[in-house]
């Protein structure tokens, strides 16, 4: 049995992130500037503090209960009135050895799916990763702590290292210092590469939440990052393997082993014998190393969300005047679409219909940013879909 314990400071940070995400959902906005931040425990959650109305307070409590797998047996006679009261409830609820935390995927088709994780396993993962990053003085968090990546790297790992966390946003001064550990997703690293002339010495970066382009990673090293760690994982499994850019090989975390399937395919098995599917096809290098060989579901990552290009193309094909369509990830991390039209159709008229359909039926991150038109889909000599400008 693990002797590691979930600290109150970790719960505090995760709590704030979960509530911000829930209120953003209720207010139908990704940005809730009036309630952003890590609030002090004494802060009231009502009008005199965070500013949540009664329905939002219920929504926040429900989101925390779902995340930390709480039930109403731990509730008192009065509903929580401060941030500290939320944390008190959670600390009581997760005191059991089999306590778990539930995260949600960024699903490709339907509603995000819930995935529970034993607290003990999350703490062991954070402890292992912390051991690889000794000497860090501060975590600079560019990601929230309500997703699994953020929970591990901006809540549990800083506590394991005994170092503070500062929150930053790309597009504002990061004020990096030697000894910083910068936690970001690939889209943010791409932006930082363009915004940063030179990183201070002894700054390490971490990337997850999607595939990190090795060229981008190498350019970040050239720009002064002392090290860039790329984490391969999923909401279902947590971290699976890590690599140091620019190396292509990922090395499995101690929890995982590869198990052979038919036709050269592989799956994961953990130390308890539980089996888990790999989100990607992989090439086994040796017992502890692998290379990625493409997503099983064909999904790509856009702004931290798993997106299915084929599902989006199917929606575009429903537009009157569209003969066929294909969707791909462009070089800037946004989606692009190639649309086949009848010879007599004016592409400018069709473009308006396509953009209206995308706005009505797709969330922002699933809407193609660029449209190209032609008589047939671009294909190579083997008949496979190829890229287009």
pLDDT for 354-379, tens place per residue? 999 999 999 888 999 999 998 888 88
Q: How far apart are CA 370 and CA 361, in angstroms?
A: 17
Rounded average pLDDT over 15-40: 77
Q: Which candidate, 295, 340, 288, places its Cα nearest to that of 317?
A: 340
34 — pLDDT class (breaks 50, 70, 90): very low
DSSP type of residue 213: P
The average pLDDT across 170-180 equals 94
Residue 262 DSSP label: G
**Dist. CA 285–CA 289, nearest whole Å:** 5
> For residue range 59-95, what is the model confidence (pLDDT) as tens digits?
999 999 999 999 887 887 888 999 999 999 999 999 8
The C-alpha atoms of residue 14 and residue 352 are separated, in whole angstroms, by 42
C-beta separation of 361 from 353 below 8 A: no
pLDDT of residue 296: 77
pLDDT band at 381 (very low <50, low <70, confident <90, very high): low
**What's the order of all strands across the beta sheet hosting 370-374?**
324-329, 335-340, 370-374
Average pLDDT over residues 32-61: 85
**pLDDT for res 30:** 55
Residue 347: other Cβ atoms inside 10 A: 14
């Amino acid at each position: 049995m693990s002797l590691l314990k979930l600290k109150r400071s970790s719960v505090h940070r995760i709590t704030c992130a979960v509530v911000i995400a829930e209120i953003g959902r209720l207010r139908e906005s990704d940005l809730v500037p009036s309630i952003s931040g890590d609030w002090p425990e004494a802060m009231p959650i009502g009008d005199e503090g965070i500013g949540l109305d009664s329905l939002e307070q219920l929504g926040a409590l429900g989101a925390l209960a779902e995340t930390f797998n709480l039930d109403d047996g731990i509730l008192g006679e009065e509903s929580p009135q401060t941030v500290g009261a939320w944390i008190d409830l959670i600390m009581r609820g997760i005191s059991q050895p089999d306590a778990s935390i539930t995260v949600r995927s960024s699903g490709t088709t339907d509603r995000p799916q819930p995935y529970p994780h034993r607290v003990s396993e999350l703490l062991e993962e954070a402890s292992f990763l912390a051991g690889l990053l000794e000497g860090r003085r501060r975590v600079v968090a560019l990601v929230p702590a309500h997703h699994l990546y953020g929970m591990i790297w901006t809540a549990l790992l800083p506590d394991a290292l005994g170092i503070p966390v500062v929150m930053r946003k790309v597009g504002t001064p990061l004020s990096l210092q030697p000894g910083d550990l910068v936690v970001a997703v690939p889209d943010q690293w791409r932006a930082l590469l363009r915004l940063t002339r030179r990183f201070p010495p002894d700054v390490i970066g971490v990337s997850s939440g999607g595939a990190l382009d090795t060229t981008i990673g190498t350019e970040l090293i050239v720009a002064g990052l002392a090290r860039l760690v790329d984490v391969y994982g999923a909401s279902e499994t947590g971290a699976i393997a890590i690599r140091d850019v620019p190396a292509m090989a990922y090395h499995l975390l101690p929890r995982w082993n590869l198990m052979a399937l038919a036709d050269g395919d592989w799956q994961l098995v953990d130390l308890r014998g539980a089996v888990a599917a790999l989100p990607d096809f992989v090439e086994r290098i040796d017992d502890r190393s692998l290379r990625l060989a493409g997503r099983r579901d064909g999904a790509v990552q856009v702004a931290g969300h798993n997106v299915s290009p084929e599902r989006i193309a199917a929606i575009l094909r429903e537009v009157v005047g569209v003969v066929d369509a294909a969707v791909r990830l462009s070089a800037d991390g946004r989606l692009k679409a190639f649309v086949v039209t009848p010879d007599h159709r004016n592409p400018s008229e069709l473009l308006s219909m396509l953009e209206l359909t995308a706005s009505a039926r797709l969330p922002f991150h699933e809407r193609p940013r660029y449209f190209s038109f032609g008589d047939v889909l671009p294909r190579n000599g083997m008949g496979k879909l190829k890229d287009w400008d």
